[in-house]
Amino acid sequence: MPRSLAAFPLLLLLAGPGALGAGLYSPLDPLAVLGADSLERRLFNSSSAWVVEFYASWCGHCIRFAPTWKQLARDIRDWRPAVMLGVLDCAERSNQKICTDFGITGYPTLKFFKAFSKKPEDGIRLYHHGDDIQSLRESVITSLERHEDTWPPSCPPLEPISAAQLHDFFQANDVTYLALIFEKEHSFLGREVTLDMLQFENIAIRRVLQTNEELVKRFNVTSFPSGFLLVNNGSCISIPVDADFRPLYRNFLQSLPNVIRGNSFRPTVAPTVEPETTIAPWRIADRKKVYMADLESAILYTLRVEAARFRHLDMERLSVLKQYVNLLVKYFPGRPAVMNYLRNLDLWLKPMTNVSRNEWEEALRNNPELPHARLPENTLWVGCQGSKPEFRGFPCGLWTLFHLLTVQEALLSPYRSSPPEVLPAMRGYVRYFFGCRECAEHFEGMAAESMSRVRNKDGAVLWLWSRHNRVNYRLAGAPSDDPKFPKIQWPPQDLCWSCQIIVNGKRMWDERAILRFFKAYFSRSNIYLDFIKPLIRRGRDVEEKNNQVEGELEEGKEEENARQEKEEFEEDKARAKKPESGRVTRRRSGLQKSGLTEPHKPSIIKMSTRTKELEEDIVDLDSFSEQHYKSKNLKMADQIGSKHRRSKRDVGLVRMEKEGQQSFDIDTAWERLRHKSWGGQQLIGTMEEEEEELEKENGVVLKRKQWFRILGVGFSQLDISLCIVLYFLSSMCLLGMYAFFRMHMRYRKGRSGFPVA
């Protein structure tokens, strides 16, 4: 993959759900690293107030904000247990549901939970003026003061002291020292110092406002802030700090005699243990290739994570989702099982006006009864793998996916001069679904600036390329930039030597060469299935049905299945290329001109672009013979279940309707195709070849009527009957004409004036 694909303009997403380890934080940080199993247990009915950051380790803003949140945790660690800080990684697959329950729709989200909160709705958004430590501290204090009847038991009073309270203070409180901090009304110094000294015994801190004229006059205060230390023996001294500098007050008060940290707050020395992280094995990728694993992982994350964050999908958000899924159906060159899944999802979405989260999750679930329509269960990054889990991953995969869709739209659309539809769908997805809200705002700004000026499909390819490079320039060297794959201007010269030219000593882009390169690089023939596992485990269903699962070597079977699936894809691709040798030659010359070499053994099938999209019945003709009638399926069934062979109804096409999908046998498929006018000599020849192969290798005989073999030119029985009737009528007409002229000739011969030889 190109290095520049390491960042979505707005996204910087993780290497995949479930592969993050400790995310952006570790247990060694002075905060609570929460999870789905500990969040509610620690927050609800807690005597402490909690401030929790809900983040995603793929989010560029989250990566940039993480050091600030860690610094805040170190800065206010003495505020515990009155205020506790925590983090939860919503990108972790195990945490996704709990984040949805807490109403998290963007990252990072800071929520404040009062003491003794009982439900997710009790959390309130923590608004702050900026991402600096001072703004965050002040926001935490402001939220803490909103406690009324449920004031945290361990938190000292933060309201200003009055003259009456000061008069009887030492009688009511068993402490040696009382520090008074005189400050202006909107100052946070007194409250910050009060919380800083929370864990220390034998001292109390109270604030006095400038508006309290009685106390200001009694202590003769002329400048703000100012501090005075009162002792229980009646003495009073001025605190020698003249600046509004919190650490000076804190250090002075902590150094007083007999002021010590309470035993319950003394830190215990624990052995330094590095957090356990799961490091995925490194996969060596060729950046000249596009990997199907990255594309499918991006689709998986957008549907099962990004779109599933919302409790309800309705109105504009649902409309955008429908448009996004429909574009995947039209332009994504996926594996048959994935395309079946997307088509079925598209049909399910079309009549919907409101979709709940539970309905959406149910619709996305892989149904074991429908093995020919499914998505991968987990993400797998190959060309988009980063040096750390928080680098590259989903942003790179999403960039790759949208580049691919714009190119496929330009190649497959019959009206290339018409306005593009991929770019508006991409803009809508980012606006309504992308989790990193700061990144989404940046992308929306670029779209509002110039996307409306894109007039055709080729222009959409170039617009996305130029904005991608603009984002790479902006994010180069940022904390979210992977040092092993730095963001560069793409494509580099080693991938496309003709894309950059020198004009008057300046390096310039050649947009025509870039367009040729993109159409070659993101073509179907340059998509590879390396490292990917088969979605359909042939023979597994037969094995489960017959309760013969023990003793199988799963890893060996998966490798064999993957090998067979690759072989079938290559055979499909080769067969699809045969009638288009001229087009292949032109494509190869285009590859050479663009600086991209012809890939060896393309591993992705070429889906037919002429096949009509059926609303009720969808049949994948490219995979009709290879995937569902290939004798390898029967061989695999024999290997797994030696006593039970797969019947012809088990080797089925996928039929998708609005209500679901069903597998059906060859006779049913043939009957449907015949009634849909999908006959023809080519289809019959293909079925006859498959039939002969099945008879030769497995002894399976697929019976059909002999007369249909002879007359099998793609006509239905009704067509043949009509032909016979027309033939009979034409014969009778000719016979009548012959009889008429014969009688006419005899009549004329009988007349006297007729010349006789």
Look up residue 741 and give its two tokens.
């002229």
Task: For residues 162-187, give the mean pLDDT.
Answer: 91
Q: Using one digit for the tens of pLDDT, what is the confidence trace for 31-70?
A: 999 999 999 999 999 999 999 999 988 888 888 899 999 9
Fold of domain 32-144: Glutaredoxin (3.40.30)
Q: With bands split at pLDDT 50, 70 and 90, how would you rate the model's confidence at 198? A: very high
CB within 8 A of 61, min separation 6: which ones?
107, 108, 436, 437, 438, 439
Any idea what DSSP says for residue 618?
A: B
pLDDT score, position 279: 56
CATH number of this structure's domain 290-382+389-528, picked from the four choices 2.40.30.260, 1.10.3720.10, 1.20.120.310, 3.40.50.2300: 1.20.120.310
Known catalytic residue: 90? no
C-beta separation of 359 from 310 below 8 A: no
Instruction: Please tell me the predicted confidence (pLDDT) of residue 199.
Output: 92
Q: Is the per-residue pLDDT at 468 higher than 80?
A: yes
List b or e across 310-324, with b for residues whose CB sees 16 or more CB atoms inside 10 angstroms. beebeeebbebbbbb
Q: Between 732 and 674, whose confidence is greater?
A: 732
pLDDT in tens, 7-17: 433 333 333 33
Q: Per the structure block, which two tokens stand in for 204? A: 């109390």
* Per-residue confidence band for 503, with pLDDT thresholds at 50, 70 and 90: confident
> Can you name the residues that pair with 664 across neighbouring β-strands?
653
Structure tokens at 137: 């501290």
In DSSP terms, which residues pair with 203 in a beta bridge? Answer: 177
Active-site pick, 59, 155, 384, 396:
59
Domain ranges of the chain: 32-144, 163-264, 290-382+389-528, 609-704, 716-749
C-alpha distances in angstroms, 689 versus 576, 650, 683? 16, 20, 10
pLDDT at position 360 over 80: yes
477 or 404, higher pLDDT: 404
* Residue 367 confidence (pLDDT) above 60: yes
pTM for this entry: 0.61
pLDDT, tens only, 681-716: 343 444 444 445 444 444 444 344 444 444 444 455
Give the CATH number of domain 163-264.
3.40.30.10
**Integer Cα distance of 669 and 671 in angstroms:** 5
Element (H, E) at 359: helix 357-364
Predicted confidence at residue 694, as pLDDT, reads: 43
Instruction: Establish whether domains 32-144 and 163-264 are of one fold.
Output: yes
Instruction: Give the CB-side neighbour count of residue 712, counting CA atoms within 13 A.
Output: 19
d(CA 729, CA 723): 10
Q: What is the pLDDT of residue 663?
A: 37
Mean per-residue pLDDT, 467-494: 88
**Preceding peptide of 491 cis, ω within 30°:** yes
- Mean confidence (pLDDT) of the chain: 75
DSSP string, 457-512: HHHHHHHHHHHHHHHHHHHTTSTTS-TTS----SS-TTT-TTSEEEETTEEEE-HH
Catalytic residue among 62, 155, 396, 439: 62
pLDDT in tens, 224-244: 999 999 999 889 999 988 788
Q: Both tokens of residue 269?
A: 């020395």
Q: Report yes or no: 666 and 629 within 8 Å, Cβ to Cβ.
A: yes
Higher pLDDT, 203 or 723: 203
In this prediction, residue 756 has a pLDDT band, given cuts at 50, 70 and 90, of: very low
- One-letter identity of residue 354: N
User: pLDDT tens digit string along 566-624?
Assistant: 555 555 555 544 444 444 344 444 444 444 544 443 333 333 333 333 333 333 433 43
Residue 733 is a catalytic residue = no
What percent of the chain lies above the pLDDT cut of 90? 38
Q: Is pLDDT above 60 for 379?
A: yes
Q: Mean of the pLDDT values across residues 260-276?
A: 54
Better-predicted residue by pLDDT, 104 or 658: 104
Query: In angstroms, rounded to a whole number, what is the distance separating the alpha carbons of residues 472 and 456?
Result: 25
**Distance, CA of 580 to CA of 606 (rounded, Å):** 12
Dihedral over Cα of 169, 175, 180, 186: its sign: negative
Task: Please name every residue paired with 107 in a beta bridge, in sequence order, or none if there are none.
Answer: 436
Would you state the pLDDT for residue 24? 87
Structure tokens at 264: 């319950």
